Amino acid sequence: MKNAKTFRVILSYAVLCLVAVVMAGPFVWMVFSSVKPNEDLFAHPPVWFPQRVTGEHFRAAFAHTNLPRYFLNSLIVAGVATVTNVLFGSLAGFAFARLEFPGRDVIFFAILGTMMVPIHVTVVPLFILAKRFPLAGGNNILGVGGTGLIDTYGGLLFPYLITAFGVFMTRQFFASLPRELDDAARIDGCSDFGIFAKICLPLSRPVIATLSIFTFTNVWDDFLWPLVIINRDEMRTVQLGLQVFQSQFSVDWGPLMAATLMVTVPVLIVFILGQDYFVEGIATTGMKG
């Protein structure tokens, strides 16, 4: 019996190690390709480890694109979207989890229903709403006459300010907290907002970290919406910036790998900083519905 249990543990670790190697393979290839000279990039058979390390691809990535501006745009959009999702999502999640009001469950399930709508279905309506946004980009009060939120940070942020996923995550977490905390706070004279700010929010660090990681990663990696809403080069995000290295008939693989590596680093940093809270948040969210 003990031998069978040991065998299962060893087999599980072996499978996990195999999966880790398969998942890490493309990333390792990208890292090595970013410092390979061109002769190693196109060698046959493929060369994993570069015979000579070079930084020419990183220099080319900065020389041929406005990469610092792309990074700034993505940091602004992803950072603001993360803050607004945490703020508005936690407020809405608290209301749905701890307050009683008519139609609460119906509204909550209607919000959940929007998560089943593919993003491709909403792109055109979102674009029309952004273009006809009142008093923006030369539009009048009726949203006519100008460009609205096109080619602006507001346009990039438009779909990300609050998401159904953020409301769902925070609602599930707040629903798992004991109701006795609310009763004790009300005895001490706390209002509903006081309970949220002084009791629930300080306990919600795991779900806030989890939501922050998901939101930052999703906005940072998004390609479709910036492609639709942005025309000017100076407003491009990093994902649009990577397309500069690809033409109709060829791809500049060396600078593309170098730029992709740099684009990946912020996401890795965010995950490493919040990984402990991330695991705790995933483990606790949804314990009570």
pTM of the predicted model as reported, rounded to 2 decimal places? 0.85
- Using CA atoms, how far residue 163 sits from 86, 88, 153, 168, in Å, is 10, 9, 18, 9
Strand partners, 246: 251
> pLDDT (tens digit, 9 = 90+) per residue, 95-151?
998 888 898 989 999 998 888 888 888 899 999 999 999 988 888 988 888 888 999
> pLDDT (tens digit, 9 = 90+) per residue, 238-279?
999 888 887 756 778 888 888 988 999 888 888 888 777 666
Q: Which CATH class is domain 66-284?
A: mainly alpha
Which helix H or strand E contains 31, and what residues bound it? Answer: helix 2-34
Please answer whether residues 149 and 130 qualify as being in contact, where contact means their C-beta atoms are separated by less than 8 angstroms.
yes
99-106 CB contacts, 8 Å cutoff, 24+ apart: 99/192
User: For the chain, what are the domain ranges?
Assistant: 1-54, 66-284
- Using CA atoms, how far residue 187 sits from 96, 177, 178, 190, 195, in Å, is 22, 18, 15, 7, 11
